[in-house]
Homo-oligomer: A and B are copies of this chain.
């Protein structure tokens, strides 16, 4: 499990006085990027090797709001990985209220910049091992 903290910015609120729901999808991305930095496989290293990680699907359930300047504690884990496709789970707790705020997931794969699939397992076995390790740790 990887934990990512994110304070809500003023410009991320909407006229309901809470963080707009679309922003959590962006925070999920921030958390994924931080997770990959943390595992020693930053996105830039992949992009330098010609690999991008498109989002195939994203989902988010909204349980309770986060307000300006409150901090969301996002717990992130890799739930599935098969050498090509992976799925990440997110659970966000509002540190101010202590309540579960969001629960979501995203699915991804590895592709070249022109969107052809890349099997990490075959082409980049060391990176594959890193991802597989994340899964085993759970």
**Cα A68 to Cα B58 with chains together (Å):** 22
Residue among B15, B33, B58 making CB contact with A15, cutoff 8 Å:
B15
Residue among B23, B33, B57 making CB contact with A59, cutoff 8 Å:
B57
State how many copies of this chain the complex holds: 4
Selected interface stretch from A48-56, A82-90, A119-127: A48-56
**Cα A44 to Cα B57 with chains together (Å):** 29
CB neighbours (8 Å) of A55 from chain B are 21, 62
A60 beta carbon closer than 8 Å to chain B: yes
CB neighbours (8 Å) of A67 from chain B are 15
Report, as a range, how many residues of chain A touch the other chain. 35 or more
Residue among B11, B57, B113 making CB contact with A20, cutoff 8 Å:
B11
Given A54-B62, A56-B62, CB of A22 within 8 Å of CB of B29: yes
B44:A68 contact, CB within 8 angstroms: yes
- Residue of chain B at shortest CB distance from A32: B10
Residues of A within 8 A of B (CB): 9-11, 13-18, 20-23, 25-26, 29-30, 33, 42-44, 52, 54-62, 65, 67-69, 113, 115
